Structures are given as C-alpha cells and as structure tokens.
Amino acid sequence: MLLLNHTPSFFNTAGRECPLQFNKRNMSKHRRYRVSCSNSYSPNKWKRPYTSVLIVPTGVGASIGGYAGDALPVARTLASVADCVISHPNVLNAAMLYWPMPNVLYVEGYALDRFAEGLWVLQPVHQNKVGLVLDAGIEEELRIRHLQVADATRASLGLPVLEYIITDTPLQVEKWIDPITGQATGRIKHPDSLLRAVHSLCDRSINAVAVVARFPDDEIEDVDDYRQGKGIDLLAGVEAIISHLIVKNFKIPCAHAPALLPPPLTQSLCPKSAAEELGYTFLPCVLAGLANAPQYLTNEYESQRNGCIMGSDVDSLILPADTFGGDGVLAFANKRNKPLIICVQENETVLNDTPDKLGIDVVKVSNYWEAIGVVAAHKAGVDPNSLRRDKVKNITTNSLISSNDYVESSHRIFA
C-alpha cells in the first residue's frame, strides 16, 4: 500500500496509532512526507520495506501461471508477507477477474528486465491517465463490447480510462509455437500502425496504454488442451511482443488484451482456464492493473528525488525452476549484492534454463508454500536453513594462512 504520511503520529501503550496535532513547534519536524510501498500500517521505522519480485514467464506452459491468472493466488499470498511485491501482467491478469492489492506493483516484462539491470527505476503513482488502443481489424460488435467494458470500469470502479483510438490499419496478428524452444511466439504485420496510435495518445497526455488486438480465432481442437489446463497459451507469446514494443519505444506502462470471438460452451473446463470463458473480453484486469501501475524513469537524479524503487532495493526473487535464462533473472543473479533467489521446483515449463546449468546460487523449494515461508524467514532476518532439520552446519572460515603465519582475511575488519 502506498502510505502518504501526512499526519504524524505516535503509538500508545495499547499499540494504537494516535494522531499528533500540528503546531508551530512540530510542523517543521514533520514537514517532509514519506512515500513507501508497504502492506503494514505500523512499519518498523528502523527497517526499509521488504521487496520481493515474483516472475512466471509467459507463453512457456508454466504449470502454475501458464493459464488464466492461476498464479494470482501466489501473488496474493506473497503480498500478505512482503511489504512490496513487484510482478508482471502474466501473473496478475485473469481476464474478467482481478484482485486489488495496494502493495503490488504491476510492471510489464520488458520494463521489469530493465529494472533488474539497473537501467530503469519504478515510480509509484496514485493514478495514471490510461488510453485504449483498438485494432482496426476488430469487428464492430466486438469493438462495441470492448468499449462497453471500458465505460463499465470508469463508472463502476472509477478507473481513469480517458479516451480510445483505433489504429489506421489492421494490425494482422500472427501466432505460432517456436519449434526449437516450444514457446508461444508470433508477430504483428503492421507494428508502425500500433506505434502511431500510441504516439497520438501520448501527445494527449496519456501515460499508460491498454492495447486490444484482433487475434485469429483458433479451431476448438487447437485450444482444447489449454482449456483442459494442459499445454501452452498460444496467445501469450505475441501478446508479450506487443507490450514490449510499446514499452521499449515510449517507456510507459502497457498491457495487452486479445480480441476473440467467445468459444463454444463446454462442460469440461479446467478451473485454471475458466476466467477466460466468462465474457466477451479480457480487458477488465488490464485496465485495473494499468490504472496505478508505476511509471518508468531513467533519469538518475529524478529517480532519487522522487523516492523511486530501484533494482538494488529487491530483497528476494521467486521464479519457476527452469526459467533462469531471462535478461532480468540473469541481471539480478549477477548483482554484487544480489537478492535471495528462490527456485520453485513444482512449477515446470517447456524451458530448460536451470540454475545449476547457469551456475546461479539459489534456494530450492518444492512449491510456493515453501517459497513464501522462505520469504517470511528472510524478512524476519532469520536464516531459512535454521527452520529445517540438520540444515545448519558448523561455521567455516574464509581466511587464508600466509607463509609468514599471519592470518589474511578476505575482508578487512574494523573495531
């Protein structure tokens, strides 16, 4: 939760927060506001907020997070432990469903990689000015359905969706499975039309963009595995390509929702895929996420002045066991003061980028129950190994005995 501490307070012996009255004596003492991303109403002022990054790559058939928002329960649980959680649309989107979490930052994948590399920082906001781009290839009835969703979020949720634009040319989305990696991928034939539309919105002070592109309708046999909670989300790869294109060029929050005709009703449907069967559009979760997604800054001076979140602020990183080859993960792993990296064995994908293969030191856990327990221990300042049987070994030395019998430590010690 973003806390704007505009009223100074103290805690009485019952632990209740009591407001102080402003007067000339204490006004200057509390003049500077403090902004933080925290789920705690009474944070420890001697510790900075604990920040965790949750990643589940899109379009790789993840056992958890590879379907219609089925990693959202993980994010909700993690957000109850960490002060600040940073994740991306693949984790937080669930088509017609979403869950407001004040201490979770909705960060597009390309931006998350740049954040990990230390090139961009995240500036929390109270509200963005959201614009909507609709593909000219969307049929009139389907276009009206999406505009009704936008109006519904404005009227019922108060979301700041200000205006929409239709691309000047149909985007013509194509998608396929990469035969080498097994990942979902694809392209849009007219990316210039999409960029022109976003540029037009940005000229009108829009600073976050939702895109709805018309996707080809599949034969029901092609998506049957996905509806049964198996296989790969065929849409996800090119969705990421679309959002990456916009974020790379405009450095603003972006997320994508595909426009498709509703599939025929089935009584045999996996709960993990069911969120995408509830209506005519996947847009609600995207608009909700973009409404207060953090802005991306690259100017070092501005980022420090505005109290932004930097890659060096991350305390822990959680991801599936075979997805360690991404730019962001490698950037976190190679930091001098790298975060605690937690590898979830139960969440398998079509990839084979394991930490052992890449030489990355991690904490291996069986499932997300254990992962969040490790985060809780880490936040408490407790070595997670001390919670396991026989995992704490005798202390070892990192000193070397020189030829003249003096001890040379690898670190200088000061009294």
**What's the pLDDT tens digit per position in 146-167?**
999 999 999 999 999 999 999 9
What range defines the domain where residue 9 resides?
Answer: 2-37
| CA proximity to 149, closest of 286, 268, 270 | 286
* Lowest mean pLDDT across 38-47, 223-232, 279-288, 334-343: 38-47
Asked whether the beta carbons of 212 and 136 are under 8 A apart, the reply is no
- Asked if residue 205 has pLDDT above 50, the reply is yes
The proportion of the chain whose per-residue pLDDT surpasses 90, expressed as a percent, equals 73
CA distance 263 to 226: 12
pLDDT at residue number 43 = 58
CA 413 vs CA 320, 359, 408, 409: distances in Å = 38, 30, 11, 8
d(CA 410, CA 399): 6
Model confidence at 398, pLDDT cuts 50, 70, 90, reads confident
pLDDT tens across 292-345, in order? 999 999 876 666 667 799 999 999 999 999 999 999 999 999 999 999 999 999
How far, in Å, CA of 61 to CA of 75, rounded? 18
Q: What is the pLDDT of residue 264?
A: 84
Is 377 a domain residue?
A: no
pLDDT of residue 304: 67
Q: What is the pLDDT of residue 224?
A: 82
Would 28 be classed as within a structural domain?
A: yes
pTM for this structure? 0.85
Averaged over 101-129, what is the pLDDT?
Answer: 97
Q: Are 75 and 319 in contact (CB under 8 A)?
A: no
Buried b (16+ CB within 10 A) or exposed e, 168-197: eebbbbebebeeeeebbbbebebeebbeeb
The single-letter DSSP state of residue 275 is G
Rounded to an integer, what distance in angstroms lies between the CA atom of residue 275 and that of residue 282?
9
CA angle 328, 329, 333 (to 5 degrees): 120
pLDDT range class, residue 347, cuts 50, 70, 90 = very high
Kindly state whether residue 119 falls inside one of the protein's structural domains.
no
Predicted confidence (pLDDT) at residue 8 exceeds the cutoff of 50: no
| pLDDT value of position 1 | 40
Q: Evaluate whether residue 147 is within a structural domain.
A: no
Instruction: Determine the pLDDT at residue 142.
Output: 96
Distances (CA, A) of 105 to 100, 151, 236: 11, 24, 20
- Do the Cβ atoms of 349 and 63 come closer than 8 Å? yes
- The number of helix segments (H) and strand segments (E) in the chain equals 13, 20
Q: Yes or no: say if 72 and 91 are a contact pair by the CB < 8 Å rule.
A: yes
Q: Which tokens is 211 given?
A: 């895109």
- Decide if 20 is inside a domain: yes
How far from the centroid of its chain's Cα atoms is residue 183's Cα?
Answer: 20
Q: Work out the number of other CB atoms within 10 angstroms of the CB of residue 77.
A: 16
Q: Give yes or no for residue 236 having a pLDDT over 90.
A: yes
pLDDT at 298: 87
Give mean pLDDT, residues 34-38.
Answer: 54
Residue 306 lies in a domain: no
pLDDT score for 6: 42
Distance from C-alpha of 381 to C-alpha of 390, rounded to nearest angstrom? 19
Q: How high is the mean pLDDT of the chain?
A: 87
- At 117-146, the pLDDT tens digits run 999 999 999 999 999 999 999 999 999 999
Q: What is the per-residue pLDDT for 384? A: 92
Residue 409, phi then psi, degrees to nearest 5: -80, 150
Give the C-alpha distances (Å, rounded to integers) separating 247 from 103, 122, 161, 208, 213: 22, 13, 18, 10, 16
pLDDT value of position 155: 97
116 token code pair = 């990990």
Q: Is residue 360 part of a domain?
A: no
Q: Which residues pair with 54 in a beta bridge?
A: 318
pLDDT score of 29: 39
- Does residue 8 belong to any structural domain of this protein? yes
Tally the domains of the chain. Answer: 1
pLDDT, residue 38, reads: 58
